Amino acid sequence: MVPPGALTGHRRIGIDTTVFIYALEHGSPFTPTAQFVLRLVEAGHVSAVASTLAIAELLVGPYRHGRFETSDGYFTLLTAYPNLALVAPSLEICRTAARLRGMSPSLKLADAVHLATGIASGATAFVTNDARIPRDLGISVVQLRDVAVN
C-alpha cells in the first residue's frame, strides 16, 4: 500500500484532530478516508505526528456525553498508535504557531499549533478536513477529500 494521490511523496505527515474524530466516531462521509490515512500510518507507509492538543480536542465529545470508557479507549489508542508521535507544544512550536497566525490572522490558535507541530517535526504534509486552513504556510495542506482511498 503506497500513499495515494495527495499523499504521494510524503513520508511524514501531520494529522489534525478531525482525522481522528472521523476515524473513531464514524457516521461521517469522511470516515473511510480518515481510517485509510490511519491505516497507512499504522502499517508504516508514512509516519505521523500530532500535537498533544489532539488528545484534548478528541476526548471532549466522549466526556461531554458521559462516555468515560470511550475517552479512556481513545486515549489508550492514540498514545500507543504505531508510527504516530504525539508532541507537546514546545517553545519552538509556540513561536512557529505565532508566526503562522501572524501570516494568516484568521488561523485559529489550535490549528496554528497543530501546523507548527508538523513543521517542527519534519512533516511535509498536514492532513485535515478544515478548508479554512491556508495552503501556503510552509507545509502542504492535504484535505481528506483529496486523498484517494485504495
**Strands of the sheet with 125-128, listed across from one edge:** 84-87, 47-51, 12-15, 125-128, 140-143
In angstroms, what CA-CA distances link 5 with 16, 21, 88, 134, 142? 19, 22, 30, 20, 10
Could you report the per-residue pLDDT of 81-124, keeping only the tens digit for each?
A: 999 999 999 999 999 999 999 999 999 999 999 999 999 999 99
Query: CA 76 to CA 62: how far, in whole Å?
Result: 14
| Structural domains of the chain in order of their starting residue, each with its CATH number | 5-146 (3.40.50.1010)
Query: CA 47 to CA 57: how far, in whole Å?
Result: 21
Could you report the per-residue pLDDT of 95-106, keeping only the tens digit for each?
A: 999 999 999 999
H or E element, residue 87: strand 84-87
The whole model's pTM is what?
Answer: 0.93
Closest CA to 73 of 82, 62, 57: 62
Q: Where are the alpha helices (DSSP H) in 104-133?
A: 109-120
pLDDT at position 9 is: 87
